[in-house]
Amino acid sequence: MEIIATKFLVTPALLLSVAAQADMASLNLESEYQFELRGSYTYDDQPIASLDFDSQAYGVEASYFYAPVKLGQQPYAEAAFLQGVSSLELSMQRRETESRFTDCASCNAASSTYDYLTLTSRSYVADYLYLEGTYSYSDYEYQSFNSTSSNDSDFWFASIGVMPLEGLLITTDFNKRNSLFENGWNLGAKYVVPVTETAAINMEATYSDPDIGDDTWLLEADYYFTPTLSLGGSYSTQSELYTARSTWYWSKSFAVDVEYQEQYLGDSYTIGVSTRF
């Protein structure tokens, strides 16, 4: 009886030990991907006095990496950055809003639709130079109580940077309205550093000093408990914007991410699902 009892006590512990070792072994086995797809949904909660306001957005992103990105013990979300793999990304988003006066039952609702199309190229050159370019096109349609209007516009953005250390990127940006080193200046830094064999932390900071308006800071950080799980947030002085976020890869190919934002206009909630292959 003692032998049987000992057998049944030891077996569950042994199984848990084997499962833990198998999980660590799966992290050590490298796999790779060259494509990534992501879909997202955002709901905005913006209370406005005497106004029933509703806003939501749908998005889809597709990324192609020019070389295979390997997954090992590095954070999955930072793998392409740490390995310096260049990429091309196409994203589309539709944002829909609707508003109605709560104290006017006979008033028609006003609505608007924003469509965004964005193409981004990220290039790592000779292990120390970084180049990024983004072109964005937007289409806007607004229906008010008695009229309809529409408009479209485009915008471009570029960034150049250097990588003096492994995991460290220093950049400066310019765009359609601000030439490089004119109309103010800005400087950004991103640093991903390992904490343990499987844990790491990502730290980012951007400082902007425009010719018109106040200077601003954007601070971001993510802690990777394991290569597959992170918790982070950001703060922007420009609009007193706070963000909390988390990403979990439940396998090497699938992930879910959530984000919460808070600012003076209200709150927003985002959920995303992505796959890699």
Residue pair 144/133 in contact (Cβ under 8 Å)? The answer is no
Whether residue 65 is contained in a domain is answered as yes
- Counting the structural domains of the chain, the total is 1
Residue pair 58/43 in contact (Cβ under 8 Å)? The answer is no
Q: Which residues contact 209 (CB under 8 A, 6 or more apart)?
A: 184, 185, 186, 215
Whether residue 17 is contained in a domain is answered as no
Q: What is the pLDDT of residue 108?
A: 65
Domain that holds residue 199: 28-276
Query: Which among 158, 100, 108, 164 has a CA at the least distance from the CA of 131?
Result: 158
Q: What is the pLDDT of residue 199?
A: 97
Q: Report the CATH number that the domain containing residue 39 is assigned in CATH.
A: 2.40.160.60
Query: Which among 225, 221, 222 has a CA at the least distance from the CA of 197?
Result: 225
Whether residue 118 is contained in a domain is answered as yes
∠145-151-152 over CA atoms, to 5°? 150
∠217-218-224 over CA atoms, to 5°? 145
Whether residue 18 is contained in a domain is answered as no
Whether residue 117 is contained in a domain is answered as yes
Is residue 50 left, alpha or beta, with left meaning phi > 0 and alpha meaning psi from -120 to 50?
Answer: left
Write down the pTM of the prediction: 0.82
CA–CA distance, 93 with 140 (Å, rounded to integer): 12
Whether residue 9 is contained in a domain is answered as no
For every one of its 277 residues, what pLDDT tens digit does the chain have, with 9 covering 90 and above? 444 443 333 443 443 343 334 444 445 456 999 999 999 999 988 766 666 678 899 999 999 999 999 998 999 999 999 999 999 999 999 999 887 766 665 566 788 999 999 999 999 999 899 999 999 999 999 887 677 888 999 999 999 999 999 999 999 998 877 666 566 789 999 999 999 999 999 999 999 887 777 889 999 999 999 999 999 999 999 888 999 999 999 999 999 999 999 987 789 999 999 999 9
Whether residue 21 is contained in a domain is answered as no
Whether residue 10 is contained in a domain is answered as no
55-59, long-range: CB < 8 A, 24+ apart: 55/95, 55/96, 55/97, 55/98, 56/95, 56/96, 57/93, 57/94, 57/95, 57/96, 58/93, 58/94, 59/91, 59/92, 59/93, 59/94
